[in-house]
Amino acid sequence: MQGDSTRSVHAGRPPATAYEPSLPGPVFVSHYHLPGEATGPYTYGRDENPTWDRLEAALSELEAPGDPAATTLTFASGMGAVAAVLLSQVRAGQTVVLPSDSYQATRSLRERLESYGVGVRLAPTVGDAQLAALDGARLLWLETPSNPGLDVCDIRRLADAAHAVGALVAVDNTLATPLGQRPLDLGADFSVASGTKALSGHGDLLLGYVTTRSAELATGVRQWRKTAGAIPGPMEAWLAHRSLATLALRVDRQAANALALAGELLKRPEVTGVRHPGLPSDPAHPVAVAQMRRFGSVVSFALPDQAHAERFLTALRLTAEATSFGSVQCTAERRARWGGDAVPPGFIRFSVGVEDPEDILDDVLGALDEAAAAA
């Protein structure tokens, strides 16, 4: 198999053809010329688009290298993809196990599922509670590393246990990206992600996708997309595909910068609870090294209280105070401002960009000094 950078650059691009671009531009279309019988490959813009096809082929290549059976379906956002799997794969009377510490909008689907007669059990990513919640379940949802707590679970172990009781397994792969972790190779039935984050990486679009090796499961998700209509715009799909060429460069740099930042944060007396799966001292590290190849851009930590955290965020110069993560630029936020996550008031989710590491450390350590001086 070719290396990650090579595959990222070439994934989903058509063979070189004289006088044609290497990545054809976005196809803006709602209706195709469709004479006679209404058969494909391109019928209507909510159902098919050649710009999606190329991106979907690329994502299949990254999530399941060399497997012609892999299918990817792209969506208007990560939540479009998450909802497509959860709402297309379970029926009234069935049970879903969700992480109690997942991205909060994923958990907020609990109410909707329950209103449709689906049972929902919540269990934390860390420890064995997800295993204990499996009995009689139809679908196990994992998010590893979890957002924002950065706990990690053993995908292979959980997938084996879920399959043994007849449950499907979906893994939210947003934080790791397919170059950080390949859930399908670890036994999952679905890899689901927000492409809004590190995958596209420039903070300029929303996108989501679902990859599966099962033609039957893919058909259900495709049918859901067709009827729910959460399709990606051609421009977003094309921009995301273009951005894949630098995915390996970006995630390598981000992971190295994140590790350097986490190491510096560990030395600060006012900083507690530093988490990054790549840190050798992190409780998630042993499982992370066994199933991940890159550890992502996010570092989380806590400052003593809300006021201290707000002073820190205000003192940052290079780093933008913003939600989301995985962008080429450093961003950070006080996560408790949203409510909904079990984190202390001073908890910071920091997403490390691809800037020069010395500049990032200068910015963060300077802001920490300023915030501490005003305490």
Residue 337 sits at the vertex; the CA angle it makes with 299 and 191, to the nearest 5 degrees, is 50
Among 319, 350, 355, 320, residue whose Cα is nearest residue 335: 350
CB of 295 to ligand PLP, least distance (A): 15
Largest Cα–Cα distance of the chain, in whole Å?
75
When computed from its CA atoms, the radius of gyration of the chain, rounded to whole angstroms, is 21
Q: 269: cis peptide before it, omega within 30°?
A: no
CB of 267 to ligand PLP, least distance (A): 28
CB of 6 to ligand PLP, least distance (A): 27
Residue 319 and residue 321: Cα distance in Å, rounded?
7
Confirm or reject binding of residue 278 to ligand PLP (CB under 6 A): no
Interface with ligand PLP (CB under 6 A), residue from 7, 11, 52, 78: 78
Which span sits near ligand PLP by CB under 6 A: 62-70, 167-175, 213-221, 310-318?
Answer: 167-175
Confirm or reject binding of residue 147 to ligand PLP (CB under 6 A): yes
Amino acid identity for residue 177 in this structure: T
CB of 96 to ligand PLP, least distance (A): 16
Q: Are strands 139-143 and 119-123 parallel, antiparallel or unpaired?
A: unpaired
**Residues between 210 and 249 that touch ligand PLP (CB under 6 A):** none
The string over 66-89, giving b where at least 16 C-beta atoms fall within 10 Å of a residue's C-beta and e elsewhere, is eeeebbbbbbbbbbbbbbbbbbbb
Interface with ligand PLP (CB under 6 A), residue from 113, 206, 247, 360: 206
Task: Tell me, by CB under 6 A, how many residues bind ligand PLP.
Answer: 16
CB of 93 to ligand PLP, least distance (A): 27
Site string for ligand PLP, 305-334 (x = CB under 6 A): -------------------x----------
Alpha-helical runs (H) found in the chain: 4-10, 50-63, 78-89, 104-107, 109-115, 129-132, 155-164, 215-228, 234-244, 247-266, 285-291, 306-315, 357-373
Measured from each CB, the residue nearest to ligand PLP is: 78
Interface with ligand PLP (CB under 6 A), residue from 51, 196, 297, 331: 196
Amino acid identity for residue 79 in this structure: M
CB of 28 to ligand PLP, least distance (A): 22
CB of 231 to ligand PLP, least distance (A): 14
Which span sits near ligand PLP by CB under 6 A: 61-69, 126-134, 171-179, 301-309?
Answer: 171-179
Q: List, as one string, the DSSP characters of 294-321.
A: ---SEEEEE-SSHHHHHHHHHH-SSSEE
CB of 141 to ligand PLP, least distance (A): 11
CB 232 within 8 A of CB 244: no
Interface with ligand PLP (CB under 6 A), residue from 201, 208, 234, 346: 208
Residue 169 and residue 162: Cα distance in Å, rounded?
7
Which span sits near ligand PLP by CB under 6 A: 72-80, 341-349, 350-358, 367-375?
Answer: 72-80
Which span sits near ligand PLP by CB under 6 A: 34-42, 71-79, 246-254, 353-361?
Answer: 71-79
Amino acid identity for residue 12 in this structure: G
Confirm or reject binding of residue 350 to ligand PLP (CB under 6 A): no
Would residue 233 be called left, alpha or beta, if left means φ above 0 and alpha means ψ between -120 and 50 degrees?
beta
Residue among 61 and 172 whose Cβ is closer to ligand PLP: 172
CB 299 within 8 A of CB 271: no
Interface with ligand PLP (CB under 6 A), residue from 97, 99, 103, 144: 103
Confirm or reject binding of residue 82 to ligand PLP (CB under 6 A): yes
Place of tokens 């300029």: 204
Instruction: Using CB under 6 A, list all residues that contact ligand PLP.
Output: 77-79, 82, 103, 105, 143, 147, 172, 174-175, 194, 196, 206, 208, 324
